[in-house]
Structure 1
Amino acid sequence: MSLWWLIEKGGVLIWPLLGCSVLGLAVFFERLVRLFRAASRDPGLVERVAEKVLTGDLEGARRESAREGGAVGRMLYEGLSMGLTDVETVERLLASAVERELAGLSRYFGLLALIGNLAPLLGLLGTVIGMIKAFQTVEALGERVTPSHLAGGIWEAMLTTAAGLTVAIPVMIGLSYLEGRLSRIENEMEEAATLLLKALKERSRHASH
């Protein structure tokens, strides 16, 4: 079964389905690379930053954060951008950084969801159009129609539904996988933020004594 055969038999709606397939694949791999780059690659980073915060070494803490190119490092660097100030200020900076990172990493997720929802509908529309053509053929042939005429028209009409599902299922699976990776990165950032705030509170408590 070649691609040109599918296009010939499936009708004009095969083209937008092919477009959805290519676009969905491109977006998935682009987001996958972005999420892999955003994932933390240094498990000891947060502990080192927290240790330097406890000792009041702001520049050292920021240097450690800058070495990590992932979302956690960028968040920690942003959280320390105002210096070792009050915990509330750092907490707001961290929350803003987390929100910005998540917004950037989840970009185009809505597009993947749209493709996953639209492809089956395009396939169904193609099937409905194909069924209409099949029954028009039956009407035109009248008594000369045979089961093969009817069956041939129906299976050709069903091609677009199969094509739509073939596009939608991998896209939705891919989207679910990306959302899972994003959730793990979010958890990493939340844990890192908690440890940094804990270190700041301990430093503040020690400084007050």
Structure 2
Amino acid sequence: MTTAVTPTVQEPEIHVFSLWDVLFSGGIVGNSIMIAIFLLGILALYIFLERYFFIKRASKPTPNFLENIRDFIQDGKIQTAVDYCKSIDSPEARMIEKGLARIGRPISDISNAMQNQGQLEVSKLEKNLNILASAAGAAPMLGFLGTVVGMIMAFFEISNVTGAVSPKLLASGIYTAMATTAVGLFVGIPAYFFYNILVTNVDRLVLKIQTHVNEFLDTLNKPL
């Protein structure tokens, strides 16, 4: 009596999605590009947080600041007003201090001195914003570069295959290459918003400072 042999059915191999394998399976060149993108992301986040809190401290209002300056000027206490400005750590206080130190000169000289100080204050507020903007643009570009390099490497491997090309080989090379673009956009898009948030805050603070400076110059123009 013969026993029938039941053919064994081979179950399809199931691959578990691994983010680590997708991100860092692009070889030396791909991994280097991926690391560079991550470093740009860390740099962008650091600059954003550092600038955000710096601008926030500079924007902190001083109650009755202009009123006190106006009272000191009317009482003839110019040095007291200068010392009062020195005790306040804000861009407008430093600008008005420059103006107070030149009281007695023509109003144009006072205005020019305050404008020069204002340019220094704006440069302090905008420190490293150009680096943040560069990171926002460079991260996607590096991602595209990684994709192009990955596709070149994938098709190079395919060209060395004799016979039919396995779809698995083609697919694995493509999704590994596209990972750099995804990460580049993931870093570049927030960095772009970070940059615009900081620029908006700087512009708002500069407008506020300019308003206070104009009020100070109006006070000097008024007869005592």
Tell me the TM-score normalised to structure 2 length: 0.83
- One-letter amino acid matched to 1:32: Y
**Corresponding residue of 1:196:** 216
Q: 1:6 matched to which residue of 2? A: 23
The question of whether the paired residues in 2 share the 8 Å contact of 1:50 and 1:195 is answered with no
Is 1:145–2:162 an aligned residue pair? Answer: no
Asked if the contact 1:38/1:70 (under 8 Å) is kept, the reply is yes
Closer, same or farther in 2 for the Cα pair 1:5/1:139, shift >3 Å?
Answer: closer
Number of matched pairs:
204
Question: Deviations along 1:71-93, whole A, 9 cap, x unmatched?
Answer: 11111112212234321111111
Q: Structure 2 CA distance, aligned partners of 1:28 and 1:192?
A: 27
Q: Structure 2 CA distance, aligned partners of 1:91 and 1:126?
A: 52
CA displacement at 1:37 relative to structure 2? 1.9
Q: CA deviation at 1:21?
A: 1.2
Q: Which has the higher helix share?
A: 1
CA root-mean-square deviation: 1.9
What pairs with 1:65-80 in structure 2 (closer than 5 Å)?
Answer: 65-80=85-100
- State the distance in 2 between where 1:23 and 1:3 align: 22
Q: 2:131 aligns with which of 105, 111, 121?
A: 111
- Most deviating of 176-185 and 33-42: 33-42
How many percent of aligned residue pairs carry the same amino acid?
26
User: What SS does the corresponding residue of 2:150 show, helix, strand or coil?
Assistant: helix
Are 2:150 and 2:176, in contact at CA under 8 Å, matched by a contact in 1?
Answer: yes
Distance 1:4 1:42 in 2: 54
Structure 1: 4+ residue segments shifted above 3 A:
1-5
Question: Residues 76-135 of structure 1, C-alpha deviation per residue, up to 9 Å, x if partnerless?
Answer: 112212234321111111111111100111011111111111111111010000001111
Say if 1:58 and 1:84 are closer, same or farther in 2 by CA, change over 3 A: farther
Which region of structure 1 is more displaced relative to structure 2, 85-94 or 154-163? 85-94
> Residue 190 of structure 2 aligns to which amino acid in structure 1?
P
Matched-pair contact (CA < 8 Å) for 1:65–1:76 = yes
TM-score under structure 1 length normalisation: 0.89
Between 23-32 and 175-184, report the one with greater CA deviation. Answer: 23-32
Higher Cα radius of gyration: 2
The residue type paired with residue 148 of structure 1 is K
* CA distance in structure 1 between the aligned counterparts of 2:40 and 2:101, rounded to whole angstroms: 42
In structure 1, the gaps of 5 or more residues are none
Contact 1:71 1:185 in 2 (8 A): no
Contact 1:7–1:15 (8 Å) recurs in 2: no
